[in-house]
Amino acid sequence: MNRIEGRVKVTGLATYAAEYPVEGVTYAYPVQSRIARGRVKRVDAGPALELPGVLAVLSCEDPPPLPEDADPELALFQSREVAYRGQIVAAVVADTYERARAAAGAVRVDYDPGDHDVTLRMDHPGLYRPGVVNPGYPTDTEKGDVEAGLAAAATTVDVVYETPVLHNNPMEPHAALAYWDADGRLMVYDTAQGISTSRNMIARTLGLPREQVRVVSRHVGGGFGSKGTTRPQAILAALAARAVGRPVKIALTRQQMFDVTGYRTPTIQRLRLGADAGGRLTAMEHVAYVQTSTLVEFAEQTAVPARVMYAAPALRTAHRVVRLDVATPSWMRAPGECPGMYALESAMDELAYAAGLDPVELRIRNEPETEPDSGLPFSSRHLVGCLREGARRFGWEHRDPAPGIRREGEWLIGTGVAASTYPARRSPSKALAKVLDDGDILVQVGAADIGTGARTALTRIAATALNVAPERVHVELGDSDLPDGPVAGGSMGTASWGSAVVRACEELVKDGKEGRADTTDEVKKEAELARHAFGAQFAEVRVSAVTGEVRVSRLLGVFACGHIVDAKLARSQFIGGMTMGLGMALMEETLTDEEFGGFLNRDLAQYHIPVCADVRDVEAYWLDEQDDALNPMGSKGIGEIGIVGTAAAIGNAVFHATGHRVRDLPITPAKVL
Ligand code: MOS
């Protein structure tokens, strides 16, 4: 299907959070801390308040009352403590954006700075074992005897991989517009991946009952995780609107987004692998080191995919985290799985070379019968099918395994492979389906379409469930007054909302007029199974022997993700994820300022993402899986698996081209030469 909102989006008619026409709107602009750690001694709002059009200055000098247990990232102006450079310490409200911005520059903040530490190291004395890793997995697992397995191995690999801080850069910057009704109800146009989630978080932060908050987010220009949890702009708009008694809009700049909307933690990962003479793993150990802030513990699940991938009689995974004077890391497309699989799949490539085995064959030889860590049966698993189908389509069989020998002029050429995986989950959701006067069907669900095509996919799901033409189905989403739906995240939006939509449609068929569904019980009663999507990524690179520049001439992915709801939407998700993986492999890197804290390259001129000219040839294919243990559609999430494995496939191809193994991303010319 074509995107239902495609026309309004490309013609500029789709309304985003900052664009709702609201009478009497005013503007807020944040003041950000200039120190990485310390205390705000004094905020002098005087000079700002004298400027034209300024309505208020909010700061810790006069903290708005918030519940004591509010999320410290959102509890604005409650504390004088500064936890990271760029933290919001004050804000100006004025009658225009420009006046608010100018006045923000006139607010004087005096600090008592303390010593800061913003650098993750493998030997950092502050590293500790977190309680759980995102989103609730055990921190460490151990099965069998890793040391004995390594000692008995014919081939071993012991390597350390590193990935940098990465930032989500959705096209639509974070923005919110808030006002309070005469009866005290808060209305927020926010840019949110979770409509009901956002309403709940805003209500909780402000100490309001849920019913007193409404969040509307009909179109979202990308999120990738950065809009999965409520960000300070929504809270600031609400607090400022209360302070001035007028609607307040806040639109963060790209630079501000880098500071306050989360980022992918840097990782340091040690992989120890051992294999017998036949290439079968005797031991596998994956230890991940990540960072969090002093405010909130967010420990990424970096080593979790190692629990899923390969049969190894001895398997140990562990996560260590350190609290630094930095903003709290958060979700970025396939948090954990993406950097974790980069390291694991690169190390598997190293093992293949060390063992003298083809890297596709090495993976096939280590295919497990049940989920290695839990022993649970897989609901479906077609990694081997993806590897074989990918190898066939890519032309892998003609590959000469020797590295560094193919050359066309200045260009060294190589190919690489890596596997992908991502969990196939769903969350409880509600939905409503009813027959309209003209006989068409209205479907309502508190879902968010963050650019994935959720609105279109849900239309197709409802049309299929009702056996009517998609044109007769009208899906309403993006409003917390609709039936509660979970976040568009964890690649589980479609599976979660779609389940409720199908059930509501079934109820409608029974009733003739209207059907309501709540899948809470259905989700709770799911059988215990290992549910994951799998894939195989193939890359061809050309590396300049003169400049060290890496060009990805081909990317090809084959995925096994249950039943594909819509081919066109799915292809977009896969190639979008793979493109983001290309960025991770070669370009993306946020530099932390060790001297002053904070991030240095906070815009798209300095934080490089792939543009069309970088993306030459990307192909995505899939194996249609029949899996009845998932949801009524038989679908697995596809939003994140495309990025998983891509960076490893490219890195492995760079090794094959050059004979030089780069173990820290991104693979920039300086590291290649
Ligand atoms: Mo995605 S990082 O689960 O929004």
Could you tell me if 278 and 137 lie in one domain? yes
In sequence order, what are the residues at sequence separation of 6 or more whose Cβ sits closer than 8 angstroms to the Cβ of residue 561? 424, 533, 535, 570, 622, 625, 635, 636, 637, 638, 641
Residue 213 DSSP code: E
Per-residue pLDDT tens digits for 502-533:
999 999 999 999 999 999 999 999 999 999 99
- Using DSSP's 3-state secondary structure scheme, residue 442 falls into strand
pLDDT of residue 602: 96
Q: How far is the CA of 394 from the centre of ligand 1 (A)?
A: 29
Could you tell me if 475 and 505 lie in one domain? yes
Could you tell me if 161 and 201 lie in one domain? no
How far apart are the C-alpha atoms of 665 and 285, rounded to whole Å? 21
User: Is residue 5 in some structural domain?
Assistant: no
User: Is residue 620 in some structural domain?
Assistant: yes
Q: What is the ipTM of this complex?
A: 0.97
Could you tell me if 22 and 80 lie in one domain? yes
Q: Report the run of H or E that residue 26 belongs to, with start and end.
A: strand 26-32
Q: What is the 3-state secondary structure (H, E, C) of 327-353?
A: CCCCCCCCCCHHHHHHHHHHHHHHHHH
User: Is residue 124 in some structural domain?
Assistant: no
Per-residue pLDDT tens digits for 322-344:
999 999 999 999 999 999 999 99
Our count of domains for the chain comes to: 3
Ligand 1 atom with the smallest distance to the CA of 450 is: 4
What end-to-end distance do the CA atoms of the chain give, in Å?
Answer: 46
Supply 319's token pair. Answer: 């996560």
Residue among 587, 218, 641 at smallest CA distance from 422: 641
User: Is residue 587 in some structural domain?
Assistant: yes
Write the burial class of residue 95 (CB in 10 Å: 0-12 exposed, 13-18 middle, 19+ buried): middle
Q: How far is the CA of 491 from the centre of ligand 1 (A)?
A: 7
CB 158 within 8 A of CB 274: no
Where is the domain boundary, 489, 518, 547?
518
User: Does residue 262 have its Cβ closer than 6 Å to ligand 1?
Assistant: no
How far apart are the C-alpha atoms of 582 and 311, rounded to whole Å? 28
User: Does residue 455 have its Cβ closer than 6 Å to ligand 1?
Assistant: no
Supply 132's token pair. Answer: 């759980």
In this structure, the number of other CB atoms found within 10 A of the CB of residue 77 comes to: 22
Where is the domain boundary, 226, 260, 294?
260
CB 17 within 8 A of CB 177: yes
User: Does residue 226 have its Cβ closer than 6 Å to ligand 1?
Assistant: no
User: Is residue 508 in some structural domain?
Assistant: yes
User: Does residue 490 have its Cβ closer than 6 Å to ligand 1?
Assistant: yes
Per-residue pLDDT tens digits for 341-372:
999 999 999 999 999 999 999 999 999 999 99
Could you tell me if 213 and 138 lie in one domain? no
CB 328 within 8 A of CB 71: no
pLDDT of residue 147: 98
User: Is residue 101 in some structural domain?
Assistant: yes
Could you tell me if 450 and 590 lie in one domain? no
Could you tell me if 418 and 452 lie in one domain? no
Q: Report the run of H or E that residue 381 belongs to, with start and end.
A: none
Could you tell me if 161 and 189 lie in one domain? no
User: Does residue 368 have its Cβ closer than 6 Å to ligand 1?
Assistant: no
Per-residue pLDDT tens digits for 79-109:
999 999 999 999 999 999 999 999 999 999 9
Ligand 1 atom with the smallest distance to the CA of 223 is: 4
Q: Which amino acid is at 339?
A: P
User: Is residue 1 in some structural domain?
Assistant: no
Could you tell me if 508 and 601 lie in one domain? no
Q: Which domain holds residue 437?
A: 430-518
How far apart are the C-alpha atoms of 432 and 434, rounded to whole Å? 7
Ligand 1 atom with the smallest distance to the CA of 193 is: 4
Task: Give CA separation, 77 vs 208, 246, 328, in Å.
Answer: 18, 20, 17
Residue of 195, 231, 301, 333 with the most ligand 1 atoms within 8 Å of its CB, for mutation:
333
Could you tell me if 56 and 154 lie in one domain? no
Percent of the chain exceeding pLDDT 70 equals 100
Where is the domain boundary, 222, 238, 260?
260
Q: Which residue has tokens 């908050």?
A: 213
Question: Phi, psi (5° rounding) for residue 624?
Answer: -75, 120
Q: Which residues are catalytic?
A: 640
Residue 456 pLDDT grade (very low, low, confident, very high; cuts 50, 70, 90): very high
HSE-up (13 A, CA, CB side) for residue 255: 11
User: Is residue 37 in some structural domain?
Assistant: yes
How far apart are the C-alpha atoms of 306 and 316, rounded to whole Å? 9
Q: What is the mean pLDDT of residues 602-623?
A: 96
pLDDT of residue 119: 98
The CATH number of the domain holding residue 507 is 3.30.365.10
Q: Which amino acid is at 487?
A: V
Residue of 220, 298, 331 with the most ligand 1 atoms within 8 Å of its CB, for mutation:
331
Bridge partners (DSSP) listed for residue 291? 322
Per-residue pLDDT tens digits for 282-321:
999 999 999 999 999 999 999 999 999 999 999 999 999 9
Ligand 1 atom with the smallest distance to the CA of 334 is: 2
Question: Phi, psi (5° rounding) for residue 7?
Answer: -65, -45
How far apart are the C-alpha atoms of 330 and 225, rounded to whole Å? 7
Could you tell me if 220 and 356 lie in one domain? no
How far apart are the C-alpha atoms of 659 and 665, rounded to whole Å? 17
pTM score, whole prediction: 0.98
| Residue minimizing CA distance to atom 4 of ligand 1 | 225
How far apart are the C-alpha atoms of 276 and 488, rounded to whole Å? 43
How far apart are the C-alpha atoms of 640 and 424, rounded to whole Å? 11
Q: How far is the CA of 488 from the centre of ligand 1 (A)?
A: 7
Q: How far is the CA of 497 from the centre of ligand 1 (A)?
A: 16
**What's the whole-number average pLDDT of the chain?**
98
CB 550 within 8 A of CB 672: yes
Bridge partners (DSSP) listed for residue 533? 422
Q: How far is the CA of 487 from the centre of ligand 1 (A)?
A: 9
User: Does residue 422 have its Cβ closer than 6 Å to ligand 1?
Assistant: no
Could you tell me if 399 and 482 lie in one domain? no
